[in-house]
Every structure is written in structure tokens, then in C-alpha cells.
Structure 1
Amino acid sequence: MYRVVLLVLVAATTVLSYPKFKDAIPNGHVVPNPCYGNPGQDMVWGGVGHKNISGGGDLNPFGDTFKADNFTYTMTVCQADSDGDGLTNGQELGDPTCVWTVGAITTNGPRGHPGICEPVGSQWCKNSWFKC
């Protein structure tokens, strides 16, 4: 019985914590889905740091970078190119100069997804883990 209660509490805490991660990065609630435009694809990638669009499960390269810095948007996270597409995470999230702070409004919209190499399927990204 206690194990079930503990499991439910852990699961609820995990699910409820995702919005705070979106708030902890610039434009975290509007990171684009690189497959948008394909049938059945949502416009926004809800689980920014995950391979699954809805979150949960394995982390994508940005999620690994973000986790390595204790889920904090640091200069290191901003300047990294987690997905290897030639743009920094900050550039893709709309913070090219890495000056954004939690709670601030960005002056730029997101330019891409920091955890998915784009353009998907290009020569540059052909070995990426992700396919539309």
C-alpha cells in the first residue's frame, strides 16, 4: 500500500514539475516542432528536453545539457549547440546573446528546437536520432 502511495506521489510530482522547466528557458512554452506541417503534427514541441513531443521518457541532447547544469539556463547551456546543427541553444530559443533571465520576456521568438538537429533529414542532420 505504501509503495503505491509513494509511486503516485512521485509520478504526480514529476508531471507537475514540467511547466517549471518550460519557464526556466527562453520561449520554453513555444519551442517549435520541426515536423509541423506534416499531417497530424502539433505546432509546438511540449516536452522541450525530451525525445517525446509530450515530454517524459528519454531526454534529447538539449535535455541532457540542461540536466547537466541542474536544469538551470546558464551561459554554458545557452552557448552550447546541443543538437549539433550549427546554432547555439540560445540562438534557437531566441536568446542569441545569452542575456535572458527567468521571468523576463524575450524580444525574439524561437528560431528552432535546441534538442533536434534541423533541418531534419538534411545532410547536416542525417545521423540525428530524430526523424519526422
Structure 2
Amino acid sequence: MTPQQLVLHFLCCIVIGLCVAYPPFKNYIPNSRRVPDPCRTEIVDGKTELHYVKAVGHYGINSARNPFGLDFRRTRGNWTILCRLDSDGDGLYNGYELGDVRCMWKAYYPRSWRSLRAPFSHPGITEVFNKTSKRYEVVPQLRMALCSRRFPLI
């Protein structure tokens, strides 16, 4: 093996190791792939069309962590603790917002998935229930500041 091949082999191992070492945090959050984007919900033909965020703990991909992301890091992803916290301070605990009302969900345990409901709102963005639209929406005072950022959509 030539020195160039050896260096190339070494660099490939490092890159692969870094990619594999980054844990898929979505697997540690219930309904993480179905969290509604609080800034982008449309009414099409009388039906609500939801869009979903990619990074629940961030304001956007490669951006600052939102309060839920900070709590996730602080609790090291321990859902038992994180479930009962109200990260965004809107009066709803994270488990309720993500559809795990009883905080019974466990990662990689399929039987616990049966108790999940659809997520109600985003655990890292302060939202209030709008009685007219019958859904949770970003607090009007924060709407411009939060929704001007580009949330990553699926």
C-alpha cells in the first residue's frame, strides 16, 4: 500500500467514524418525525395541511438549540425526565405536546408506541390554543421573531 493510499484510507475511517458517532437523536423523542411546524400550517380545500420540522431541538438545521433542545442536552436525552418538563413555558409538558400524555414511551420498545397520540404542538416553541382554528399556534408576540427563521421541513 502506497503512502497516499494509506492516508486516504485513514481519512475515510475518520469521516465514517464521525458520521456513525453522531447519534440519531430523533430515536430518543416520541413522534419526533411528526412534530408540526408551528409557523407553517395551511388550509387547503377546507382541510388543515400540516408541515413537520426536521430538528425538534433546534430552530433550524445547524442553528441554535431551542428550549427543548437545551433541556434534551441537559437531561442527556432521558425521556423519563424530559417528558415532565415544560421546556417552552407554555403550560404544557413536553410529553403532552409530543403525544406521550402518560410519559410511558420508551425508545426501541414497540409496545410503548401504542399509547402515543399525534403530537399536539412543538415542545420548543411557545404556543397557545386558538379556539377559532382549533389548533396550537405561536404566541402572536413571538410570531415574527420565530417564524422569520427557516424551520427545516420534511
Normalising by the smaller structure, the TM-score range is: 0.7 to 0.9
Matched, 1:22 2:38: no
The structure carrying a bigger helix percent of its residues is 2
Q: In 2, Cα distance between the equivalents of 1:85 and 1:11?
A: 36
Residue pair 1:47, 1:56 contacting (<8 A) in 2 also: no
CA contact (8 A) 1:49 1:64 kept: yes
Cα RMSD of the aligned pairs, angstroms, is 2.9
Gaps of 5+ in 2: 1-6, 43-49, 128-136, 149-154
Whole-angstrom distance in 1 between the partners of 2:91 and 2:140: 13
- Rounded to whole Å, the distance in 1 between the matches of 2:124 and 2:55 is 10
Please say if 1:12 is aligned against 2:19.
yes
Of residues 131, 140, 153, the one that matches 1:122 is 140
Aligned to 2:71: 65
| 1:97 aligned residue | 102
Deviation at 1:120, TM superposition (A): 1.2
Q: Give 1:23's aligned amino acid.
A: N
CA–CA separation in structure 1 for the residues paired with 2:55 and 2:40: 15
Question: What is the TM-score normalised by the length of structure 2?
Answer: 0.64
Question: Of residues 20, 30, 36 in structure 2, which corresponds to 1:32?
Answer: 36
Q: Deviations over 1:4-61 (max 9, x none)?
A: x4984576347x53xx2111111011111011236xxx71110011111xx3231110
More strand by share: 2
SS at match of 2:38: coil
Where in structure 1 are there 5+ consecutive unaligned residues? none
State the aligned residue count.
120
